[in-house]
Amino acid sequence: MNDSKRKGLNSFIHSDSSDSILSAYQEDRPFYCEDLSSSISDLTQIPFLKSLDTMLDNWSDEVHVHLPDAADEASAIKTNSKEARKLFRNGMGVRFSEVNKKSPKLDSWLQSIKEDFGFSKMTYARSIVYATPANKGNAPHFDQNYNIVIQLTGNKKWWIAPNTTVANPLTRHVIGLETDPELASYTRQEFPKEMPEGAQEFTLKAGSVLFVPRGHWHMTHANEDSLALNLTFSAPTYLDTLTAALRGRLAQSPHWRESIDGLNSEEGFHIAAHKFNLLLAELKEDVKTWEAEGILAATEFAE
């Protein structure tokens, strides 16, 4: 089979070592290949991905421009392509969201990769293009999603380190910025104040591929103007799937849909708590009959 005709995760196999993104995913470690250009040319040759200029020329939606204060997408403004071009020349990063919506080919790759990972049908898969000016980059952070980075043009450095503070985070976190309250609730230790020591270093040039596992710390620095295509996957967790199923089930009942009131008096509080306990007693009985197969069948195979 001609490699260039392959689609999906099978294209991301290191030609020298046979290492693959799928193995890296299973072992919760990065995957890097300096040059995978021949096996992913189907993607990298999508015309508008050729350069920042072709991206801007073909993009009529808003783009996000990263402001210089935080070196992170948490601090960004939305603007048009014309303004973005100027701001890039002034040293600011530009982000194009959901680029897959502009290219059926790109979208079909995303869907194939999502299936190859075995992720849920409910997974939010998208592709983002990042333009980073020379000598700029991203502050150390981790994301709650999996990320495949395909370098399109320019030379960019990445550093990746395992996250020993929290496993399977549900939200991203940037060192030096505020911690999401839910993330803080299940993080027992303090986050590091800077990129952890011993991070692996990777240099990406046109055709290089890097897989960043969910939750791993990473930071970047563009050695020259850089354009990269990211394929990101936010796959539902067991928690997400149970929560969605529970809500779907309980929403069928007018009693569960009732607004809680009376909480401003002692008597009202007890009445509300009594009603709530009756509903919980019913739920406990109901939950005993639940099977994972039934929940997954409802979320994955329902039309």
Q: Binding residues for Fe ion, per CB under 5 A? A: 143
- Number of Cβ within 10 Å of residue 9's Cβ equals 20
To Fe ion, the closest distance from the beta carbon of 116 in angstroms equals: 21
- Number of Cβ within 10 Å of residue 173's Cβ equals 25
To Fe ion, the closest distance from the beta carbon of 168 in angstroms equals: 16
Identify whether the C-beta of residue 157 lies closer than 8 Å to the C-beta of residue 226: no
- Number of Cβ within 10 Å of residue 23's Cβ equals 14
Ranked by CB distance to Fe ion, the top (closest) residue is 143
Nearer to Fe ion, 156 or 241 (CB): 156
Identify whether the C-beta of residue 195 lies closer than 8 Å to the C-beta of residue 219: yes
Q: In the 3-class helix/strand/coil scheme, how is the chain assigned residue by residue? A: CCHHHCCCHHHCECCCCCCEHHHHHHCCCCEEECCCCCCCHHHHCCHHHCCHHHHHHCCCCCEEEECCCCCCCCCEEEECHHHHHHHHHCCCEEEECCHHHHCHHHHHHHHHHHHHHCCCCCCEEEEEEEEECCCCCCCCEECCCEEEEEEEECCEEEEEECCCCCCCCCCCEECCCCCCHHHHHCCCCCCCCCCCCCCEEEEECCCCEEEECCCCEEEEEECCCEEEEEEEEECCCHHHHHHHHHHHHHCCCHHHHCCCCCCCCHHHHHHHHHHHHHHHHHHHHHHCCCCHHHHHHHHHCCC
Nearer to Fe ion, 7 or 29 (CB): 29
To Fe ion, the closest distance from the beta carbon of 266 in angstroms equals: 49
Nearer to Fe ion, 192 or 262 (CB): 192
To Fe ion, the closest distance from the beta carbon of 218 in angstroms equals: 6
To Fe ion, the closest distance from the beta carbon of 142 in angstroms equals: 7
To Fe ion, the closest distance from the beta carbon of 201 in angstroms equals: 16
Nearer to Fe ion, 143 or 225 (CB): 143
To Fe ion, the closest distance from the beta carbon of 53 in angstroms equals: 25
How many angstroms separate the Cα of 88 from the Cα of each of 53, 66, 203, 261?
A: 11, 9, 22, 53
To Fe ion, the closest distance from the beta carbon of 143 in angstroms equals: 4
